[in-house]
Amino acid sequence: MSTGASCAARLTAAVAGLVLTPYLLRELGSEQFGLYALSLGLVSWLSALDLGIVPGLRVLLARDSGRLDSVEITRTVSSATAGQAGLALLTLAAGGALAWAAPWLAGDTLLASDESRTLIWLLAAGSAVSVSGQALAGALEAHQMGYVERGVRMLRTVVRLLVTVALLEAGAGLPALGWAHLAAALLGLLALLVAVMRKLPELRLNPRAVRWAALRETARPGIWLTAGAFAGLLIAAADRLVVARWFSLEAVAVLSVSAALFLLAESLLTFLLDGARPLLAQSLGDGCTHDAAALYHRTTQATAVLAATAAATVLAVNRGFVAAWAGPEHYGGWELDLALAAAMLSQVWTLPHRVALTASLDVRRPTAVRLAEGALNLPLSIAMARLFGLAGVIWGTAAAALATSAWALPRMAGRKLGIDARTTWRPVERSAWCALILFPAAWRLRELELGGYVGSALTAGLMALAALPLVWFFGFDREVRRRLRLPVAWAS
């Protein structure tokens, strides 16, 4: 049920983005849309204020599930909720500071307008409300009720979409986007409170039950997970900031629109890969290192080939899709497409290794590598932007990933699982060969000018047919292919 709810939540978010983006471009224009995209990225930096309380809460409650009585659950969750409430107040204050510092960070006077500052502060307020309810969501997920949290997430997405359209139609202007985020966050918090009262009757939030020791115990295992997540947000937001400072807010809009399909494909691959995390953790927890190593090898192999296939498919359809979806003026050109495809591959190649390391409870080292990637990303993006323009910003992101995570994480994961370091690079070699085969085909298909939604769907179907033999032979080993044949043979 939780997997189905996760799929539904991601699908809802994707559909909402597809519907809302062309509407916002039409109502606000490219410059203000770019300002909104940049503001979202800047506000995401406020997640650095998170102390790892919620990830730690999930680990603690899941680990001791069935052994904690109602008093212990109340003390643990009440302490975590109090900690999150303090972080929410800190987020509000930091949001106000960010609203005043944004013009200096981005180098654009438009960010100094009252509308822009109001938008950033409202986005920060919505983030603060969401932060205050994350402990409740963590308690539900730890008790195998993650589907409830996914349902709340879907509700927030729908509410944000409806409120945005209603306020823009009423003439509220750019701050309407911030008010929509805040309204969706408030309704989501209310829904979480109701869900916890109904689904977890043994849990009673009580300020008197708050204990510093319980909060410290909760935060300790999650702080490195939070740091790793922040590193990813730092990388994504840094690209928009560099584009805004060295080019324009209209260029931010072009980048955001042109990258949408690549980010969607990366998100889907991440979701599929997350399914291997509990299996790896279980094998390692049972001491079955050989089984864990076999699962890791198959996961890295399939992920690498699927990444090359997805990147080639988006490369083939992106020009026609963006022209139909948001207008040809918001398409960044083939140079940007190639850079986005390279950045997507460099990010997806590292995912299985991060999953393997976190499943083995090795969180600090991959997080340190990820933070190093974020630190290297900014100067590389600036330097390459001066050489290659807008596409250079994304080439800097890809280069930073290849110089840090894509090199270090396979070695770490291989040593953890007892695998030769050279073996961990074989999936990347297969992915590179698939890319060399599929990218020219993608280039040829995009030159056929099969534009529009129908043409894009047809192009994607042709790419899938061309990639199917490669995925079958390069993405799966002999044993997996044999298992996949059995249902087909049985049905026939």
196-219, pLDDT tens digit by residue?
A: 888 877 777 777 777 777 667 666
Same domain membership, residue 33 and residue 121: yes
Report how far residue 293's alpha carbon sits from residue 424's, in angstroms, rounded to the nearest whole number: 11
Same domain membership, residue 102 and residue 62: yes
Report how far residue 478's alpha carbon sits from residue 12's, in angstroms, rounded to the nearest whole number: 37
Residue predicted with more confidence, 489 or 42: 42
| Domain endpoint, select from 164, 196, 219 | 219
Residue predicted with more confidence, 490 or 351: 351
* Residue 486 counted as domain residue: no
31-52 residue pLDDT tens: 999 999 999 888 887 876 666 6
Is pLDDT at 235 greater than 90 in this prediction? no
Determine the structural domain holding residue 201 and report its residue range: 2-219
Can you give the pLDDT at residue 56?
Answer: 65
Can you give the pLDDT at residue 448?
Answer: 78
| Domain endpoint, select from 175, 198, 219 | 219
Whole-model pTM? 0.85
Is pLDDT at 399 greater than 60 in this prediction? yes
| Domain endpoint, select from 219, 249, 278 | 219
Report how far residue 260's alpha carbon sits from residue 322's, in angstroms, rounded to the nearest whole number: 9
Q: How far is CA 234 from CA 237, 374, 395, in A?
A: 5, 6, 16
Is pLDDT at 430 greater than 90 in this prediction? no
On average, the pLDDT of the chain sits at 82
Tokens of 349: 């190649």
Is pLDDT at 7 greater than 80 in this prediction? no
Q: How confident is the model at residue 79 (pLDDT cuts 50, 70, 90)?
A: confident
| C-alpha neighbours within 13 Å on the C-beta side of residue 238 | 23
* Residue 334 counted as domain residue: yes
Same domain membership, residue 320 and residue 275: yes
Same domain membership, residue 307 and residue 252: yes
Q: Which residues contact 267 (CB under 8 A, 6 or more apart)?
A: 10
What angle is formed at CA 103 by the lines to CA 98 and CA 107, rounded to 5 degrees? 135
Is pLDDT at 20 greater than 70 in this prediction? yes
Can you give the pLDDT at residue 228?
Answer: 67
Report how far residue 402's alpha carbon sits from residue 373's, in angstroms, rounded to the nearest whole number: 9
Q: Which residues contact 201 (CB under 8 A, 6 or more apart)?
A: none
Same domain membership, residue 121 and residue 43: yes
Same domain membership, residue 174 and residue 93: yes
Is pLDDT at 417 greater than 70 in this prediction? yes
Same domain membership, residue 418 and residue 339: yes
* Residue 490 counted as domain residue: no
CB of 322 closer than 8 Å to CB of 373: no
Can you give the pLDDT at residue 218?
Answer: 67
Same domain membership, residue 177 and residue 66: yes
Is pLDDT at 255 greater than 90 in this prediction? yes
Same domain membership, residue 169 and residue 36: yes
* Residue 143 counted as domain residue: yes
* Residue 484 counted as domain residue: no
466-482 residue pLDDT tens: 888 888 877 776 766 67
Tokens of 298: 């198959």
132-176 residue pLDDT tens: 888 888 777 766 777 888 888 899 999 999 999 999 999 988 999
Is pLDDT at 257 greater than 50 in this prediction? yes
CB of 383 closer than 8 Å to CB of 396: yes
Report how far residue 401's alpha carbon sits from residue 377's, in angstroms, rounded to the nearest whole number: 8
Same domain membership, residue 468 and residue 375: yes
7-28 mean pLDDT:
87
In the chain, the number of structural domains is 2
Can you give the pLDDT at residue 272?
Answer: 77
Can you give the pLDDT at residue 316?
Answer: 92
Is pLDDT at 290 greater than 60 in this prediction? yes
Same domain membership, residue 447 and residue 355: yes
The type of residue at 334 is W
Query: Percent of the chain scored above 90 by pLDDT?
Result: 28
Is pLDDT at 54 greater than 50 in this prediction? yes
Same domain membership, residue 362 and residue 457: yes
* Residue 68 counted as domain residue: yes
Report how far residue 490's alpha carbon sits from residue 49's, in angstroms, rounded to the nearest whole number: 54
- Pick the range with the lowest mean pLDDT from 111-115, 292-296, 344-348: 292-296
* Residue 295 counted as domain residue: yes
Q: How confident is the model at residue 488 (pLDDT cuts 50, 70, 90)?
A: very low
Tokens of 246: 């060295």
Is pLDDT at 324 greater than 50 in this prediction? yes
* Residue 99 counted as domain residue: yes
Residue predicted with more confidence, 108 or 465: 465
